[in-house]
């Protein structure tokens, strides 16, 4: 379908619409154009599916939250040294920096294998979702334990 055909089809459907503008809430009664007469917002028809929490999304959350754990740890270690006026110690933040880079690469890889991951069996999806939720806690404990053992 051409763009103009889509616009024409959308306009035919919009002319039957009787309800609030999704942007400003102004009551639109059978609008004659795809523009809200009150706020000027362009009305676009679309088919969309409701949000679904997938195992892929939970695992992606695991990567992102784990990167957040690393950034938080680095921030705390740097702030502690600055507040004390002590010299900066690379050994304290290097594990977090390296892990954050590895996790970012992992997130990029996870993004690329999205369609494969969404096609896995329900059992694997539960495993992946669970691992994704546990990932930030695992990395926090691993980083903290590593710091505690080495310093
Ligand atoms: Zn409006």
Structural domain boundaries of the chain?
1-48, 55-150
**pLDDT over 60 at 11, yes or no:** yes
User: Encoding tokens for residue 50?
Assistant: 């409701």
CA of 9 to the centre of ligand 1 (A): 20
CA of 28 to the centre of ligand 1 (A): 8
Report the pLDDT value the prediction gives residue 91, as an integer from 0 to 100: 85
Instruction: Pick the more confident residue, 104 or 13.
Output: 104
Instruction: Pick the more confident residue, 102 or 81.
Output: 102
| Lowest-confidence segment of 46-50, 53-57, 70-74 by average pLDDT | 46-50
CA of 52 to the centre of ligand 1 (A): 28
User: Encoding tokens for residue 54?
Assistant: 């997938």
């Amino acid at each position: 379908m051409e763009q103009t055909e889509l616009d024409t089809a959308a306009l035919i459907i919009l002319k039957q619409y009787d309800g609030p503008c999704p942007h400003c809430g102004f009551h639109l009664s059978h609008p004659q154009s795809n523009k809200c007469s009150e706020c000027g917002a362009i009305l676009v028809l679309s088919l969309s599916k409701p949000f679904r929490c997938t195992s892929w999304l939970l695992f992606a959350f695991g990567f992102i939250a784990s990167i957040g754990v690393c950034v938080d740890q680095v921030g705390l270690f740097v702030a502690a040294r600055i507040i004390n006026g002590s010299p900066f110690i690379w050994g304290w933040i290097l594990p977090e920096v390296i892990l954050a880079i590895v996790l970012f690469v992992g997130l990029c890889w996870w993004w690329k294998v999205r369609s494969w991951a969404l096609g896995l069996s329900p059992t694997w999806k539960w495993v992946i979702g669970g691992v994704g939720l546990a990932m930030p806690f695992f990395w926090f404990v691993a980083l903290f334990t590593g710091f505690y053992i080495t310093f």
